[in-house]
Amino acid sequence: MSILDSNERAHDAAEASARRSYGKLVAFLAARCGDVAAAEDALSEAFAAALADWPVNGTPTNPEAWLLTAARRKLIDAHRRRRPEAGPDALDAIADFDQQPGPHEMPDRRLGLLFTCAHPAIDPGIRAPLMLQAVLGLDAARIASAFLISPTAMGQRLVRAKTKIHLAGIPFRVPERAEMAERLEAVLDAIYAAFAEGWLDAAGTDAGRRDLAEEAIFLGALVVELLPDEPEALGLLALMLYAESRRHARRSPLGEYVPLDEQDVALWDSGLIVRAEAALRRAGTLGSIGRYQLEAAIQSAHVERRRSGAANWPALVGLYDGLVAITGSPVAALNRALAIASMEGPEAGLAALDAVCVDARMVEYQPYWAARAELLSRTGAHSDALHAYDIAIGLERDPSMRQYLDHRRSLLSN
């Protein structure tokens, strides 16, 4: 084999190993030394060493084991370089580290790493980026572009978070039963935050953001795999799969916004819907309802349109009742008002909406004004509806959404 061929083969093997094993290797190393950044650095040096070594000595039969051994050595070297004057205690720790079980016994510590990234001591705004980098190996620039933050700022915030983990002694531990619900909620919220950023790219034209939704689904599926009996984890996975199934129906071929009840059900991905329904059904057997299961069930009631021709409005009102009770979210209350309108008419919807507008956050929330405008126009209160559309349009940044609102508004002034 020529040098070029063997180089390429080694490179491909390293890349494939990276994709499959990155998260597991970082998690295992970070848990051992309490330092995510050090683990990432050691691993990246190990990968560089692989690219130098494998073309010469052949791709190893167990690439993951090779990388783990190489990374461990780098970690010990780095530790010695930082603390050459370290006393006997420190050297004991290093020796213990060196005698860890062989790579074929490497346990999957990714769950602990996810809980670390979502630890209460870590700022909520950086938890999702931290997970994406530590568990999936995404680089700061890519994460930054998806969250609309400058790469430098994102890089600095990630460094700060990882330093905090190390210096403050945040443990890499799956929480005990007593704190599991609260700690898991933080993990799920972070994964959902990443998904929501990906969701903003409805047309799928921004590759960085579209992929983020896929990465979030991967993380959600990973949590379900590692915690198979947690209903909220299943609920979140179902929710994301339902939402993702409608990706291709959200915009017309011309890039126009298509509301949920006008989407072409033939464009919904039935494979994803089947997976979502399986997850939601399994969650239901575990006997503890929560926010994500309710949101997934709401999605399920909407998706019923592909079978029955209409969304299940009575079920939706009931589900929104539950969601409002659990979360107190004005957005949930808003959607509940719309469901009531679909079931009982626009006046009933407006009455429900009046209760929502008490929340100060609604004043700047475009969907609130769009919903208000829609219901007012159905009752014939055209000038009030026009006013509400104006406010909604003024609050909306997405051009295709603005165009849609403009169009609805123009239908009134005729």
Partner 1 sequence: MQYLLALYLDESAWGSMSPEQQQQGSAAYAAYTEALTKAGVYKGGNRLRPSASATTIRTTSGKSQVLDGPFADSKEQLAGYYLIDVADLDAAMLWAGRCPASQHGIVEVRAIWAM
- Interacting residue ranges for partner 1, rule: CB under 8 A: 119-121, 167-171, 173
Min separation Cβ 28 and partner 1, Å: 18
Using the minimum distance from each CB to partner 1, give the nearer residue, 31 or 202: 31
Q: What is the Cα–Cα distance from 373 to 61, expressed in whole angstroms? A: 64
Are the C-beta atoms of residues 144 and 150 closer than 8 Å to each other? yes
Residue type at 212 in one-letter notation: L
3-state secondary structure of 213: helix
Min separation Cβ 324 and partner 1, Å: 31
Using the minimum distance from each CB to partner 1, give the nearer residue, 136 or 186: 186
Q: Look at residues 136, 162, 184, 151 and name the one whose alpha carbon lies nearest to residue 19.
A: 136
Using the minimum distance from each CB to partner 1, give the nearer residue, 122 or 213: 122
Min separation Cβ 169 and partner 1, Å: 5
Min separation Cβ 81 and partner 1, Å: 17
Min separation Cβ 106 and partner 1, Å: 22
What DSSP letter does each residue of 146-204 carry, written as one string?
Answer: HTT--HHHHHHHHHHHHHHHHHHT----PPPHHHHHHHHHHHHHHHHHHHHHHHT-TTS
258 CB contacts (<8 Å, ≥6 apart)?
249, 250, 251, 252, 264
3-state secondary structure of 369: helix
φ and ψ at residue 251, rounded to 5 degrees? -130, 145
Using the minimum distance from each CB to partner 1, give the nearer residue, 36 or 138: 36
Min separation Cβ 175 and partner 1, Å: 9
Using the minimum distance from each CB to partner 1, give the nearer residue, 95 or 167: 167
Min separation Cβ 170 and partner 1, Å: 5
Min separation Cβ 179 and partner 1, Å: 9
Using the minimum distance from each CB to partner 1, give the nearer residue, 166 or 305: 166
Using the minimum distance from each CB to partner 1, give the nearer residue, 35 or 295: 35
Using the minimum distance from each CB to partner 1, give the nearer residue, 89 or 262: 89
Q: What is the Cα–Cα distance from 76 to 317, expressed in whole angstroms? A: 59
Give 260-288 as a 3 state SS string. Answer: HHHCCHHHCCHHHHHHHHHHHHHHHCCCC
φ and ψ at residue 63, rounded to 5 degrees? -60, -35
Q: Look at residues 406, 400, 371 and name the one whose alpha carbon lies nearest to residue 202.
A: 400
Q: How many CB atoms lie within 10 A of CB 260?
A: 13
Using the minimum distance from each CB to partner 1, give the nearer residue, 122 or 233: 122
Min separation Cβ 236 and partner 1, Å: 24
Min separation Cβ 228 and partner 1, Å: 25
Look up residue 323 and give its two tokens.
């969601």
Using the minimum distance from each CB to partner 1, give the nearer residue, 159 or 168: 168
Q: What is the Cα–Cα distance from 414 to 411, expressed in whole angstroms? A: 6
DSSP 8-state secondary structure symbol assigned to residue 37: H
**54-63: string of b/e by CB count within 10 Å (b at 16+)?**
bbeeebbeeb
